[in-house]
């Protein structure tokens, strides 16, 4: 243990934990861990640089937390964070401890124990401390004889030491040689797929679907902060004088960030949410159902300049559901997406506001909404990623009587347009 302790004490003075404790690998682990039921106490063995803390507070917001580590440096840094009273940290020696907890995490620890006696002690201690759920990571048995760094040792692992009830999942990132093991006692636990989050700025609890992608900026805001994505824009919308008997249109509704806000806090009679991408639309519909939103109607279609069908193109953005349609209409084939115009889809509906975020296709959406714009003059919130796209939108809207009044400081530039009859041309 002295050798391992010295290594990690020195490492944490200048560096953090390894690749397994951040990014896609950590996100993948917590996709499996989050949602475990009946967790009131958590034991995190090898808390290191505290990367797991963020996930713990997101998914188990009321559970007590005890972090154990062999590194004095890690302990000092953890205590310097001055977290609230439910977080405690302790040093362990010789891998010996006994802290019975509902959820025990031992991630990227076992193959960093170089002394066999300490390794055996660790297995015994984990077995004594595990009450309901145990998650740990180990290398494949085939890796036992492969050369590794001096601070590592790979051993064969027998999962039945803990239980015959387990799930083994290969982590599909990094070196792809590491398994995440899940153990449970009694009946296999069913994950809770939803969590009630307090949005402190509005003093309101909202149910959030836990199938959200951890890399997504929208889900991180929900789960980590209890905040809406582009919250400043939404608060600006809430201050506008709108006719509550008219509808709000959310084009590119994604998982429902704006739709949730409009329905819960703006009290409009109808919200029409357009989202063609099924993966995120499923989450959108889940949010509507979880929160009993009665005034939202979802359209599973793309919106464009003409009715027809279109492809969805992948976007390099990391936000869940960042796909865009290419605007090409053609005879339906395969799994292509139906495309409608706003004028056709909402022909007889009174509209007060339209928000659109369709990954560069905003101009084409406007072309298909010409009658609504000319007759009803709704407020417009339009994302335009480039100055060229913004100019194209301006050139189209100005003759219809619209001015761009404001640029909102959002992740992508979003512009607020208001109808001004003074320069309206027929």
The domains of the chain are located at 2-184, 195-423
Q: Check residue 209 and give its pLDDT.
A: 85
Kindly report the length of the chain.
426
Q: Check residue 425 and give its pLDDT.
A: 57
Q: Check residue 60 and give its pLDDT.
A: 84
Q: Check residue 423 and give its pLDDT.
A: 57
342-351 exposure pattern, b = at least 16 Cβ within 10 A, e = fewer: bbebbeeeeb
Q: What's the CATH code, domain 2-184?
A: 3.40.50.150
pLDDT in tens, 265-308: 987 779 999 999 988 899 999 999 999 999 999 999 999 999 99
Q: What's the CATH code, domain 195-423?
A: 3.40.50.150
Q: Which of 353, 282, 276, 279 is nearest to 308 (CA)?
A: 276
195-423 shares the fold of 2-184: yes
Confidence of residue 391 (pLDDT cuts 50, 70, 90): very high
Q: How large is the average pLDDT for residues 314-324?
A: 44
pTM here is: 0.62
The structure tokens 């390099």 sit at: 316
* 234's tokens: 């939404």
pLDDT in tens, 133-192: 999 999 999 999 888 999 999 999 999 999 999 999 999 888 889 999 999 988 777 666
pLDDT in tens, 112-127: 999 999 999 999 999 9
* 114's tokens: 């170089």
Q: Which of 71, 68, 50 is nearest to 8 (CA)?
A: 71
Q: Is the pLDDT of residue 395 over 90?
A: yes
Evaluate the CA torsion angle 1, 181, 36, 282 in order and state its sign. Answer: positive
Q: How large is the average pLDDT for residues 66-78?
A: 94
């Amino acid at each position: 243990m002295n050798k391992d302790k010295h290594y990690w004490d020195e490492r944490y003075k200048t560096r953090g934990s390894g690749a397994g404790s951040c990014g896609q690998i950590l996100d993948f682990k917590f996709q499996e861990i989050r949602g475990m039921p009946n967790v009131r106490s958590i034991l995190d063995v090898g808390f290191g640089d505290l990367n797991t803390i963020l996930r713990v507070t997101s998914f188990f917001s009321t559970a007590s937390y005890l972090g154990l580590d062999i590194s004095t440096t890690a302990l000092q840094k953890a205590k310097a964070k001055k977290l609230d009273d439910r977080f405690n940290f302790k040093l362990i020696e010789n891998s010996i401890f006994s802290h019975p907890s509902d959820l025990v995490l031992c991630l990227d620890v076992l193959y960093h124990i170089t002394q066999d006696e300490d390794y055996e002690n660790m297995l015994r201690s984990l077995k004594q401390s595990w009450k309901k759920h145990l998650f740990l990571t180990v290398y494949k048995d085939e890796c036992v004889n492969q050369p590794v760094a001096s601070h590592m040792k790979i051993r064969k692992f027998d999962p039945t030491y803990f239980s015959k009830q387990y799930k083994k999942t290969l982590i599909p990132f990094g070196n792809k040689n590491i398994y995440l093991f899940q153990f449970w006692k009694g009946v296999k636990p069913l994950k809770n797929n939803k969590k009630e989050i307090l949005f402190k700025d509005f003093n309101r609890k909202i149910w959030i679907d836990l199938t959200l992608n951890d890399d997504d900026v929208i889900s991180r805001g929900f789960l980590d902060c209890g905040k809406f994505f582009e919250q400043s824009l939404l608060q600006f919308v809430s201050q506008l004088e709108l006719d509550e008997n008219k509808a709000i249109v959310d084009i590119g509704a994604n998982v429902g960030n704006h739709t949730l806000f409009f329905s819960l806090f703006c009290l409009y009679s109808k919200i029409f949410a357009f989202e063609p991408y099924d993966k995120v639309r499923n989450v959108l519909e889940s949010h509507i159902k979880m929160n009993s939103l009665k005034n939202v109607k979802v359209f599973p279609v793309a919106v464009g300049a003409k009715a027809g069908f279109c492809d969805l193109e992948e976007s390099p953005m990391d936000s869940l559901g960042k796909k865009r349609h290419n605007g090409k209409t053609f005879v339906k084939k395969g799994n292509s997406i139906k495309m409608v115009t706003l004028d056709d889809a909402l022909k007889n509906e009174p509209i007060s506001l339209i928000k659109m975020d369709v990954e560069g296709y905003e101009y084409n959406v406007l072309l298909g909404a010409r009658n609504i714009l000319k007759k009803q003059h709704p407020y417009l919130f339009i994302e335009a990623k480039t100055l060229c796209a913004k100019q194209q939108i301006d050139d189209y809207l100005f003759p219809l009587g619209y001015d761009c009044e404001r640029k909102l400081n959002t992740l992508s530039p979003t512009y607020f347009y208001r109808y001004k009859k003074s320069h309206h041309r027929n």
